[in-house]
Structure formats: structure tokens, C-alpha cells
A and B are shown apart, each in its own frame.
Chain A
Amino acid sequence: MTDSSLRTRQSNSHKKWNKIIRNWQLYLFLLPAVVYFIIFNYAPMYGVLIAFKKYNPGAGIWGSPWADPWYKNFTDFFHSAWALTTIRNTLILAIYSFIVGTILPVVLALMINEVRSVAFKKIVQNATYIPYFVSTVVLVGMVNLFFGGSGVINQIIKLFGGQSILFLMKNSIFDDLYVWSGVWQGTGWGSIIYFAALSNASPELHEAAVIDGASRFQRIIHINIPVIVPTFIIMLIMGAGSLINVGAEKVLLMQTDMNLEVSEVINTYVYKVGLVKTNFSLSTAIGLLTNFINMALLLTVNKVSGTVSDTSLW
């Protein structure tokens, strides 16, 4: 190394330090966030070690003995009686709500976009956003009240001369109740993201299409849909990244002893194994597994989308 390059290097690092010291306040601004992420995100990542251990609370995370073989907790899960059921239920709920939950907001946005009256548009938009702000507990409480034996749905069925149905006892419609209550809650909200994209559709293009004799429906297919495709793909990739992550919150509330066969998903199982049965290692292993599957899905879909359509997260 020559003398001068050494000197520029030194002065470079010197400059850097000067800059850091001059901007010390910026680092102070970052400090709370850094501390927060260390406690709430990075420390738990270290705790993931117990997925490969036979955790013993007295010995702590580091002191607990390694599982033998190291993947024992994972094989334990696959050999457990609930493995197949939870995986199947998770996949059904995830794919069902993924398909319905990504397509319907697009349809709603396209429909609302065709409305000419601004006032009517606003009413529909604001009305469909409201359910998003209802809590999960209230949502499930409403499902139970509405679909119960003497709930309003059955009253309406009877009004039309039908027989009342015990919806909540029917395991075959658990998935439908889960997904469509989610549709009620999230479709309006999910459509917001598409309005910005739709407003980018050039008016000239529409007018040219009209002159060429295109109907409104044709214009939707050939102008509006292409405009929202990039946004749609981004939503698709993000959805894929949490596909297997059927949250425990809502399912847990909808669960009864009678419907476990269709309602026990991986995340509710993780909760029960971990905090109810206190098998910490097994619970962590299952959680880790889903985390990896999600990450793999995200990376794969992102990659595929990047090559096929030029749209990707990064």
C-alpha cells in the first residue's frame, strides 16, 4: 500500500467520524428503535435455538441440552397425531382466503371506479371500509350471534319458509364462515390500494378507445386491468409471504371442542403446545418451520414474478 492511499484512507475514516460526531443527534433518534428491535425482535431470534434443544427452564436457553438428534423436535411434530390435521387445515384456510381475499378487492375497486357520481362513490367506499375497524373479538361474536340457532340468518331463512340450520355445529362450513367473515371485514379496505393505480389510467387512452368503439367492459379489460396489474402482483407476493401464516387470533376465537377437526391450524397448535402444555421446544420448532416456509414462498414468488413480469419487491 502506498503512502498516499493510506493517508486518504485515514482521512476518509476521519471524515466519517467527524460526520458521525457532528450528527450525533441522528443516532440518538435511532437509539430507541434499535433498542426496541433488539428486545422484541432480535432477542427472540436467539431464543429460536430452543427449537434444537430440549428446553429446561432452570437451565435457560443456552444451558439446556441439545436435542438428540438435533432435529428431534421437528420429527416429533410430524409424528404427532395433530400434524396432518393442522397442516391440512392451515393449507385449506390459507389458500381459500388467499384466492378470495386477493381477487375480490380488485373486482370491487374496478366496479367502484366505473361509478360516475362522486357522492355515490364516496358512500360505497366509506361504507365498505367500516368493517375493517371492527375487532376480531367483535367479528367472531357477531358471527356466533348471527349464525346461531335463533340468530338473524335463521330468522330470515324461516321468513322465507325454510328450516333453521345449526350453522355453528356444522364442521363443513367452518371454512366458509372464516373466509367470508374475513371478506366482509377486509374487501373494502383491500380495494383502497387499487384506486391510486386506477387513477393513473390515462384519460386519452380511454377516449381513444371510445372513439374506436370499445364498450365499457372492453375498456376495463384492456385499459384498467393492465394498469393495476403491478399493484396486484405486489399484493400477491406479499400475500404469498404470509400464506401459511393463518393467524391464531381469529381461529382461536372460532374454535370449539366440537370443531377442532377442521379448526386446529398450525398457529393455534403452536399456541397450545407452547403456552398450555408448556412444551416450549416443540412449539418453537413448529413456529420456526412455518417461518421458513413463508420466507421460501416469498422469495420464490418474488423471483418468479421478477422474471416473468418485471414486478418484484426488490
Chain B
Amino acid sequence: MVNYDTRTDKVFNVVNLVTLVIITLLVLYPIWFVLCASISDPVAVNTGKMICWPKDVTFSGYKAVFQDPAVLLGYRNSILYTALGTLVSLAITLPAAYALSRKDLVYVSVFTKFFLVTMFFSGGLIPSYLTLQKIGMVGTIWPVVLVGAVGMSNIVISRTFFISSIPAELQEAAQIDGASNFKIFFRIILPLSKPIIAVMALFSAVGHWNNYFTAMIYLDDDKLKPLQLVLREILMQAEFNAKMVEQGLMDVGDLQESLRLQELIRYSLIVVATLPVMIIYPFIQKYFVKGIMVGSIKA
């Protein structure tokens, strides 16, 4: 494009670029700060000596995190719930979306309506709890794996993708050759839908990994707690130590030492808990913009 910029346009450009640079720095700074604080001496952090760059580097925060059995167990649980939840989500969503994408499905509108209602009306917290209690799921890992795993929006997004991005002739040709729906689904649809599957898997995985609320409601066994719940207890328990001092279980000197370590642990823990998501992010990043675009096209 030829550059037609007038003088005001140039001013506009500069202001725009500078503002965007500032926004980007503001967005990234908290993340950068957490990274630095997780390896800096907490004293430096708390006295304002660590603002932009790690100071008095120490790894004792990470050491403590990886020695905490609750954290390790939470990590293991979270991996399990995330893997299972994502698998279930895909295994239910994709076949349903394929069925709804087929023109030869009789009663397609009945099924669509049946699914659609769930987008606008839900029973709410307690009725859901009572239902799962009735079928014996409360206290097991299944609510954490299953609640929210399947949603109509994902079914619609994948259905739209199947219809708009996979040539109908391909399916017709296969059918004329005598291929069953199973075969069409596994041999044609799935291999051609990698972007949308990647996007949905990512979102499902991140959703499961980051969720604490479902686990808080349905689990009470410490051994089953996912990482976010362990994290919540450690990050939100500022008053915990003060109570111990009051009760004479800890003297003030110990408290200061322990507070210092705790502060460090918090930063290290944030990094450790967010790392898996940040690691897969660049791999999937090229897919998700595409996936969201597909979803935004009206069904």
C-alpha cells in the first residue's frame, strides 16, 4: 500500500504505537515480576529492591515447592483430571457434532433444540449437587472430570467446522463406496479437523487445569485435591501464621523466617502451576485464532 500519511496521520501513528508499547509492557510486567520474585530474596522483594530484575538469586522457593507433598499430589491429580476431562469432552462433543452435521439425520431439529435449551437454562448449584449426590458422584473425582466438560457451544462450533471446511462431496463419495458413518467419521472427518480438535482440546485442558470451584464443591478428601485447590489454600492463607503466633505455637522470630519463605513459595508456586499452560500455549497458538474465527461464524 502506498503511504498516503499526512502529518496528523504520522502523529496518530506515533501515539498509537507508543500506547500499544505501554499496554504490552503493562500486561507483561506482572508476569515478569512473578518470575523474578520467584527466584529473588523475599527481603529484596519486600523492601522495593527488586522491581525489574532478579535480586540475590535463590532457588529455595522452588525447592520448598517440590518438597511439599500436597503440591506434588495436587499436581498429579490435576494432570489426571485434565487428561480425563479433555478426553471425555472430545469423545462426547465430536461424534455428536458429526451426527448433527449430517443432513440424513432424522429429527435433527429435535436434537438441536434438546441441546440448545441447556445454553439458556440451568438448574443451578444446589439442584446439580443434589443430582450428583443421588447418583453417588459426590466425593469422587467424576464431577471434577465431567462437570462442564461438554457444552452446546463446542458442539455448534465443531458442527459448523465439519459443514463449512470439509467438502460434502468427500463424504458423499465415501458413502457411495459403501463407507459407514463410523468410517466416514474416523477416516475423513477426524483427520481433516485437526485445527478444531486442537483448539477444543486446549480450551478443555486449560479449563480443567485452572478450575478450583468444582473441586471445592464436590471433593472433601485431601488426597483428591487438584493443584488449584492446594494453591488456593497456600495463596489465601495470610492469617494462618498470625493465628499460630497468637496460640503460642510459633515465636515471632520463627514467624518472620517462615513468612519470608512463604512469600517466596507463593511466587514459585504461581510459576509452577501456570507453567504447563504456558508451555503448550505457543504450540496451539497458531490454531486458536483460526478456531475462534470458525466459531464466530454464525451456525
Contacts and interface: CB of A to CB of B under 8 A. Distances in A.
Interface stretch (B2-10, B57-65, B165-173, B246-254): B2-10
A284 B126 contact: yes
Given A124-B24, A249-B213, A33 B126 contact: no
B105 A284 contact: no
Contacts of B53: none
Contacts of A37: 114-115, 118, 150
B8 A141 contact: no
A117 to B, nearest CB: 9
B92 A36 contact: yes
Contacts of A280: 126, 130
A50 B121 contact: no
Given A37-B114, A152-B51, A184-B30, A25 B131 contact: no
What is the interface of chain B mostly: helix, strand, loop, or mixed?
A: helix
A118 interface: no
A151 B209 CA distance: 27
Chain B contact-residue range equals: 35 or more
Contacts of B67: none
A47 B127 contact: yes
B277 to A, nearest CB: 5
Given A23-B102, A33-B93, A283-B125, A135 B20 contact: no
Contacts of A145: 34, 37, 263, 266-267
Which residue, A32, A41, A142, A159, has most C-beta atoms of chain B within 10 A? A41
A287 B125 contact: yes
Contacts of B285: 126, 129
A30 B96 contact: yes
Interface in B1-36: 1, 4-6, 8-9, 12-13, 16-17, 19-20, 23-24, 26-28, 30-31, 33-34
A128 B25 CA distance: 10
B105 A26 contact: yes
Which residue, A40, A111, A283, has most C-beta atoms of chain B within 10 A? A40
B95 A29 contact: yes
Given A26-B181, A29-B96, A135-B210, 14 more contacts: A26-B105, A29-B98, A32-B91, A32-B92, A36-B92, A47-B127, A115-B20, A124-B24, A130-B31, A131-B27, A144-B238, A146-B30, A270-B124, A274-B125
A249 B27 CA distance: 22
B54 to A, nearest CB: 14
A151 to B, nearest CB: 8
21 contacts: A30-B96, A30-B111, A33-B95, A43-B127, A43-B131, A61-B130, A114-B13, A115-B17, A130-B27, A144-B236, A152-B37, A152-B45, A184-B27, A196-B293, A216-B8, A274-B126, A275-B125, A284-B124, A284-B126, A284-B127, A291-B122
Interface string A1-44: 00000000000000010011001011101101110110111111
A231 B16 CA distance: 23
Contact of A287 (B9, B124, B180): B124
A134 interface: yes
Contact of B31 (A124, A131, A140): A131
A45 B213 contact: no
Closest 4 A/B residue pairs (Cβ): A44-B123, A47-B127, A287-B124, A155-B48
Interface in B252-280: 263, 266-267, 270, 273-274, 277-278
B283 interface: no
B266 to A, nearest CB: 6
A119 interface: no
Contacts of B46: 150, 155
Nearest to A257: B239
A222 interface: no
Nearest to B17: A115
Contacts of B1: 203
A134 B79 CA distance: 16
Contacts of A16: 106
Given A23-B102, A141-B235, A128 B273 contact: no
